[in-house]
Structure 1
Amino acid sequence: MSVNSHLNDLSSKLNLKQDEKDKVKRSIDTLSDRLNSYFDGQLRGHFKFGSFTRGTILPRKADEESDIDYMVIFTNPYNYKPQTLLNHLKKFVNYYYHSSEIRQSHPTIVLELNHIKFELVPAKKDVWDDIYIPSRSSFFEEWIKTDPNAFNKKLTDANVRQYNQIKPLVRLMKYWNRLNGSYRSSYELENWIVQNYYYNCITLKDFVYDTFEKLTYNYSDPQGYKDKVDRAKKIIDKTKEYERDNMPYTAKAEIKKLFPEF
């Protein structure tokens, strides 16, 4: 098996399998029905967003922190503050999911089931139907404007433009990020990948090599993260060297130091 074959095979395994998708869909359908029943007349809508809708979420076997982002838009006629709406969501999950792990992780309520984790995000709309969610940490504003699914089109367009290799690349890089402490957020990593330019890249191997060659860090980043990026670059260089020397099996063994089987 070549380096490219290993990367393609691993990226395929990092995609949610149908049985896992079916379990998640059932949980989403149940959550949707319960929201409608519990908040009858108090919601302007609710929907999933984030990496699950983009096809870049990792299976729990590869990332136990994988979650489904789910937005709950309240009518909010009394202009309640974010914490009040978070409290409403917490009461909701305690009512229906009292045996599950529930906690607040501002600005979300985290609901952890056996097979998936939900991050419920309270939201409101203004008179122009713009969506606002709680500000993550700011003394100056309680709400921030958002377009939760705008990034989906950017990623899809980039994937089509780059020979359908961007989504597999994202899954591989999120896996590497997870193995190395998840210093970068999943969205930050996905956004960075989409914004990159890839010259003369056709195979998944090409995109992986190019991505690590572009990967940098800031002076203020932890030394541990800097060391992991430097190590990754050295492994890529060594893998390419083995390929140039016509040593495909040694090259594959080298790249597996970055992307091991799971």
Structure 2
Amino acid sequence: MALSINGLLRELAYEYYISYDSQEDNSIKTSLTNISGKLRNEFGTKLISVSDFGSYKRDTILPRAYDSGSDVDIMVKFNHATLAKTPDTYRTWLLAFADKHFSRSSVYRDFPTVVVELGHIKFDLVPAYEVSYWSTSTLYIPDSRNEWQSTDPSALTADLTRVNTHYGSIVKPIIRLLKAWNTRAGKPYSSYELEKAIININFSGDNYQTGFFYAINQLSDYGKPQWAKEKIATLKKYKGYVEAYLYNNDMPKALLWLYYILPPRK
């Protein structure tokens, strides 16, 4: 009977998790409250709302120890019906705000956001506005061309919650496992596209191990630059080595190749 690393992958997925009420989580929450309050005081009626979204809200963000680029997205929804400004104008306002209130931190533009890099994590301030038609609404954020694009982050969050529940709560951990590889490999995928790809996978009957291996098989390199294609091909090759050594009951070599894929605990 082949050996299993299901339990180890479960432990690693938890290691790559900012657990509730941990020091890192509490620091993020404190900073979120601080930034949100300052934004509301600064802009007043120019704002509709301030809220966090993205991978932090979906429990798929990696701890800073495993991804120095981890960031928390803050949506700054402006009263666009009254203001009617361009994305660049809103970003200029947010940059001035960040320079004023966080002068001791690293503050800079990074399309389509303004980044405030605090000691423990980065915060991306994303200008946004919403248009409502009867019972529906459309949310807009800037794109890389400095124009408005529609988005629906709540749909992705809802989809992930649904599939994670449906497949026995293994989907979010598998996303974190693959994000740990992705970061180590130089990020051949954006965080968003990696999550989107994994959400659409059928994990029926899978556990952490079989689901992780299956997800690797399903990753596509379509449209990727050559360096990214090579990273993805290497991932699949190393995964094959892990499976082969598990099948031959050689755990030391299986773990050797697994840790070429995933960073060990810190």
**In 2, Cα distance between the equivalents of 1:254 and 1:125?**
48
Give how far 1:3 is off.
Answer: 2.0
Residue 227 (structure 1) aligns with: 230
Q: 1:163 aligns with which of 159, 164, 168?
A: 168
Instruction: Determine what percentage of the aligned residue pairs are the same residue.
Output: 32
Give how far 1:215 is off.
Answer: 2.0
CA contact (8 A) 2:188 2:231 kept: no
RMSD value, Cα: 1.7
- Is the counterpart of residue 72 in structure 1 residue 80 in structure 2? no
Change (3 A) 1:78 1:40: closer
Q: 1:189 aligns with which of 180, 188, 194?
A: 194
TM-score between the two structures when normalised by the length of structure 1? 0.92
**In 1, Cα distance between the equivalents of 2:93 and 2:144?**
18
AA of the residue aligned to 1:72: V
Equivalent residues in 2 for 1:59-138, closer than 5 Å: 59-76=63-80, 77-128=82-133, 129-137=137-145
> After the TM superposition, which of the residue ranges 37-46 and 1-10 deviates more from structure 2?
1-10
Residue 4 (structure 1) aligns with: 6
AA of the residue aligned to 1:137: R
Residue 25 (structure 2) aligns with: 21
**In 1, Cα distance between the equivalents of 2:117 and 2:105?**
6
User: Where does structure 2 lack aligned partners over 5 or more consecutive residues?
Assistant: none
Residue 216 (structure 1) aligns with: 220
AA of the residue aligned to 2:6: N
AA of the residue aligned to 1:97: F
- Is the counterpart of residue 52 in structure 1 residue 56 in structure 2? yes
Change (3 A) 1:125 1:215: closer
Secondary structure, in 3 states, of the residue corresponding to 1:68?
strand
Secondary structure, in 3 states, of the residue corresponding to 2:57?
helix
Secondary structure, in 3 states, of the residue corresponding to 1:103?
strand
Secondary structure, in 3 states, of the residue corresponding to 2:261?
coil
Give how far 1:94 is off.
Answer: 1.1
User: Where does structure 1 lack aligned partners over 5 or more consecutive residues?
Assistant: none
AA of the residue aligned to 1:20: E
Give how far 1:13 is off.
Answer: 0.8
TM-score between the two structures when normalised by the length of structure 2? 0.91
Deviation sequence 1:169-200 (CA, Å, 0-9, x none): 00010110110011210010000000112354
